[in-house]
Amino acid sequence: MQNFSYWNPSRIIFGKGTMSEVGKETAKWGRKVLFHFGGGSIKKNGVFDAVTASLKDAGLQIVYLGGVVPNPHLSLVREGIALCKKEHVDFVLAVGGGSVIDSAKAIAFGAKLPASQDVWNDYYMKADYTIAEALPLGVVLTIPAAGSESSTGSVITDAEHGLKRAVNSETLISKFAVMDPQTNYSLPAYQTACGASDILAHLQERYFTTVEHNDLSDRLLEACMRNVITNAPLALQYPDEYRYRAELMWTGTIAHNNLLDRGRVGDWATHDIEHELSALYDIAHGAGLAILFPAWMRYVHKVDIDRFVQYATRVWNVDLPLSDKEGIVEEAILRLQAFYKRIGMPTTLADAGIPEDKLRFMAENAFVGERTYLGNFQKLYVGDVEKIYRLAL
Ligand code: NZQ
Ligand code: ZN
């Protein structure tokens, strides 16, 4: 286990009826709130009205900015930054999923940048994580998936140039996240499944490390993976059952609040490779991960086959003779793909209608900016990335 520091100050307010606490929590940090939201699901399921009422009860002023799309656009981030400056907003509240939260994070630090700096060119494209300050940010989460509610990350898409890039900084951790699993009842099945796929990916990216002797993290990650594998199909079968929604929602937060990769180095190549897919073809992030994770596993597993055997036996209960390690790993990958299929995820590029003509372009695009290689378990270069896309055809 490597040395580490861990700090995550995001207050998690979890459970039934918690949306009424948004106003009180927000009032600890600001008076004039940018209420940032997506394409309108919150107006249909009552979240918009509940959050507005709570903010008004607390005597707060509200400036609304809706219209965040999945794979959120830089153009709306720029609009939000200008709006915050014009209206002298002092708090940003994200009400929605990872896309809304990530857009809100970009606005929150963009609004504090000096005029000489640009949120996209100087931070996302440079992978510059030295974000000095940001407006305080709160979250009302409506979909368990990205883990952005208490993560350090924000992922934004420059739709004009087809680039999707991330920043990571403790400055971007929310002050609080209100999480009522009942808000998930209105999720389309496909979005529930995409969320489960993303949560599982966050656990797997942390699991596949070359750092040894970090058993506690292994065991915690395995428990979380098994929890997703058990509860995602149940949430799909019984969309209004609180307990399955609650399991997924809490696991989604734990999976990405950085607790589970302390003392080790995770991988994240699959995420980086996926971001090219969703930037170019605008598919859901979780769907892209379901397509690419098995391909990545087949490509890199020889680096440490024993780690993959451990994953196969402890997470997927593969019970084949230990003399056949390759067979054990392949069986685990097949079970992973069967899980994705069962919850309605695509498992090949063809399933998602993605042609093979731009695989080289996407592989090269993944290196635009300040990147020399992707991943850590095995360092990947352009040729490797192209081969992984090909394995996913
Ligand atoms: O826009 P609305 O109308 O709200 O609809 C959304 C959207 O169409 C809908 N939805 C959300 N909650 C709902 C609902 N529909 C009905 N009822 C509800 N309760 O779901 C759709 C998807 O929303 P989105 O926010 O895009 O989903 P998700 O949370 O999966 O976020 C995906 C984004 O997060 C990034 C991804 O790359 C992607 O851009 N990620 C961010 C991370 C981070 N900041 O730490 C880490 C992740 O790995 C990920 O990369
Ligand atoms: Zn993800």
- The pair of three-digit structure tokens given for residue 343, joined into one six-digit string: 């919850």
Burial of 64 (0-12, 13-18, 19+ CB in 10 A): middle
| Domains of the chain, start order | 11-183 (3.40.50.1970), 189-391 (1.20.1090.10)
Q: How far is the CA of 194 from the centre of ligand 1 (A)?
A: 9
C-alpha span between 286 and 295 (Å, rounded): 15
Q: Which atom of ligand 1 is nearest to the CA of 194?
A: 30
Percent above pLDDT 70 for the chain: 100
Asked whether 70 lines ligand 1 (CB < 6 A), one says yes
| Per-residue confidence band for 20, with pLDDT thresholds at 50, 70 and 90 | very high
ipTM: 0.99
Q: Which atom of ligand 1 is nearest to the CA of 183?
A: 19
Q: Give CA angle at 230 (178, 348), nearest 5°.
A: 95
Residue ranges with strand state E in 38-189: 61-65, 91-96, 137-141, 153-158, 163-168, 176-179
Q: Could you report the per-residue pLDDT of 313-368, keeping only the tens digit for each? A: 999 999 999 999 999 999 999 999 999 999 999 999 999 999 999 999 999 999 98
Asked whether 287 lines ligand 1 (CB < 6 A), one says no
The reported pLDDT for the residue numbered 127 is 81
Asked whether 142 lines ligand 1 (CB < 6 A), one says yes
Asked whether 376 lines ligand 1 (CB < 6 A), one says no
Asked whether 168 lines ligand 1 (CB < 6 A), one says no
Burial of 152 (0-12, 13-18, 19+ CB in 10 A): buried
pTM score, whole prediction: 0.98
| Per-residue confidence band for 99, with pLDDT thresholds at 50, 70 and 90 | very high
Residues pairing with 64 in the sheet: 35
Compute φ and ψ for 140, nearest 5 degrees: -115, 110
pLDDT at 371 over 90: no
Residues pairing with 163 in the sheet: 158
Mutate to test the pocket of ligand 1, among 35, 37, 41, 103 (most ligand atoms within 8 A of CB): 41
Q: How far is the CA of 16 from the centre of ligand 2 (A)?
A: 26
Handedness of CA 73, 77, 83, 84 (dihedral sign): positive
Q: Could you report the per-residue pLDDT of 244-267, keeping only the tens digit for each? A: 999 999 999 999 999 999 999 999
pLDDT at 65 over 90: yes
Per 3-state DSSP, the chain is made up of helix, strand and coil in percentages (nearest 5) of 50, 10, 35
